[in-house]
Amino acid sequence: MKKVLILLVAAALFAGQALAAAGSSNYLYDSNEYAVSAPPAYLHERTYMASDFAGAEGLTSLKGMQSATCKNGLYYVTCANRLVIFDGSFNVVYASTSYIGPDGRKVDFDSNVGIFVTDAGEYYICEPNRSRILHFDAQHALLRVLDNPGITGVDAGVKYRPTQVAVDEAGRIFVIAKGMYEGIVELNPDGSFTGFYGVNEVRFSLWNLIWRNLSTSAQRAKQSLWLPTDFTNLCLDRDGFIFATVQSSSAAESVMRLNAKGENILRVDDDDPYPDGDLWTNKVTSTGAPVGASEFIAVDANDCGVYICLDATRNRVFAYNEDGKLLFVFGGPGNRKGYFRGPVDVDFVGDRIVVLDSTAETIEVFRVTDYGQALMNAVRAQYEFDYTTAESYWREALRYNQNLFLAYSGIGRAMLRNGDANGALEFLKLGDDRKYYSKALEKVRNETLKQYLVPVALGLIGLIAAVKLLKAGVKRAKERRRTA
């Protein structure tokens, strides 16, 4: 027995070292919001540095990345003064530090930040220091320069500094401008100003209100202004909705999905925590560990409703499904493989996930594991309303991870939709899916009533009739005895 225990401990230590070497902060949260271990859904595959690319020259000050949805399947990466475009194998197909301006002269890139690529291969690059956005065609020729659009409703002293951009199918341009707390800047296709979109409301606690009311005018003057939190990143999903992140530890909603009216329509069950990253965080500064809540600085969404968010507090990637359920976590602060020193952007690249590390000047590529593939297949099937297929993949994912409460819930929901409400109850209970457990329980009750209501009702009617007949018989017998 002692030898067996020693072997188990050794195996656990070996597994932990293997996961650490792979860059694995793999965990989920149970129904009580406590962290539980999970196998890695994505593992570090490769680190790319400037020396790995012929023609890239350097990856200094990495800023942003987007994979093109057009047929060429290219990946566009911006540095502060450089644009680099890769193919699917991360070979450089185009790199430049300049472009030809409207007057025919060469112009050097300056302070590149956000980039967006259209289905046609055209792309937009933000240059905040020059207060403009550059629009190029698929052959890298400059089409137009979108200068300050004449934004109204802001302080005259606020400079227009676009940092992130996205363009929808109708050609509308959505811009995050640093220091503009009114919301995301919305532009017409011609670049003229439309208005602000997805305004962040100021939120404060009751204690803030009490303290401010008790403060003197001199103290209030020294206090920081109550301004809405600033957007940091955005992307378009397959349905044309905008995902946006807010970098603020005090923000009530770190990631949002905005509809055409700018309203947050991100789906989250009432019993679940909002998808804001880590649920339990360190608040003690003396430990040397990162302090405070997660702060999302980047977001990307794939074609099956999954969105990934990059946490700047602890350098982790959090993935959620369309209902805001946590799917997996990976990454963390450090110099080992799969960890990050200063990540600035995260993107889906096919079935891989890519993270740009500006401090390390590297491009970190993560591949999906067998467990992760089963998980993503289940989510995709469920997203496409193929619940039977989803159930099989959820069962496969459970073989890798018994702590995957979402799998129990997914199996239970599939069984419920296939008419097995009794069987669904057990899995929905294991998955702590109270909403669908109530639906399954109601269905079981209704089916039970349908099954037994008619026989029970007929039995009661028969019993009542028999009692009445018996009473009538007794009464007649008594009357005969009286008259006899």
Residue-by-residue pLDDT tens, the chain, 484 positions: 344 334 433 333 333 334 434 445 789 988 888 888 899 999 999 999 888 887 666 777 888 888 765 556 888 999 888 899 988 888 888 999 999 999 899 999 988 889 999 988 899 999 999 999 999 999 999 999 999 998 887 776 788 999 999 999 999 999 999 888 788 999 999 999 999 888 765 555 555 555 556 566 655 544 444 445 678 999 999 999 999 998 765 566 889 999 988 899 999 988 788 999 998 877 766 666 778 889 999 999 999 999 999 999 999 999 999 999 999 999 999 888 889 999 999 999 888 999 999 999 899 999 999 999 999 999 999 999 999 999 999 999 999 999 899 999 999 999 998 888 888 889 988 988 888 888 888 887 877 776 666 677 777 887 887 787 787 777 777 777 777 6
The answer to whether residue 352 is domain-embedded is yes
Q: Based on the structure, what is the number of domains in the chain?
A: 1
**The pLDDT value given to residue 112:** 87
DSSP helix/strand/coil, 443: helix
Sheet holding 296-301, edge to edge: 296-301, 307-311, 316-320, 326-331
The answer to whether residue 8 is domain-embedded is yes
DSSP helix/strand/coil, 55: coil
What's the CA gap between 32 and 328, in Å, rounded?
Answer: 17
The answer to whether residue 284 is domain-embedded is no
Distance of alpha carbon 365 from the chain centroid: 19
Output phi, psi for 408, to 5 deg: -60, -45
Sheet holding 132-136, edge to edge: 115-117, 123-127, 132-136, 142-146
- The residue type of 73 is G
The answer to whether residue 250 is domain-embedded is yes
What's the CA gap between 325 and 409, in Å, rounded?
Answer: 11
**The pLDDT value given to residue 311:** 94
What's the CA gap between 201 and 154, in Å, rounded?
Answer: 16
* CATH number, domain with residue 40: 2.120.10.30
Residue of 294, 196, 198, 179 whose CA lies nearest to 242: 198
The answer to whether residue 430 is domain-embedded is no
The answer to whether residue 463 is domain-embedded is no
**The pLDDT value given to residue 218:** 59
The answer to whether residue 391 is domain-embedded is no
**The pLDDT value given to residue 472:** 73
Instruction: State the pTM of this model.
Output: 0.83
Which structural domain, as residue segments, surrounds residue 86?
A: 2-279+291-362
**The pLDDT value given to residue 213:** 60
- The residue type of 16 is G
H or E element in which residue 445 lies: helix 434-483
What's the CA gap between 173 and 187, in Å, rounded?
Answer: 5
The answer to whether residue 458 is domain-embedded is no
**The pLDDT value given to residue 286:** 60
Output phi, psi for 230, to 5 deg: -95, 140
Residue of 139, 140, 105 whose CA lies nearest to 125: 140
- What tokens appear for 65 in the block? 């990345």
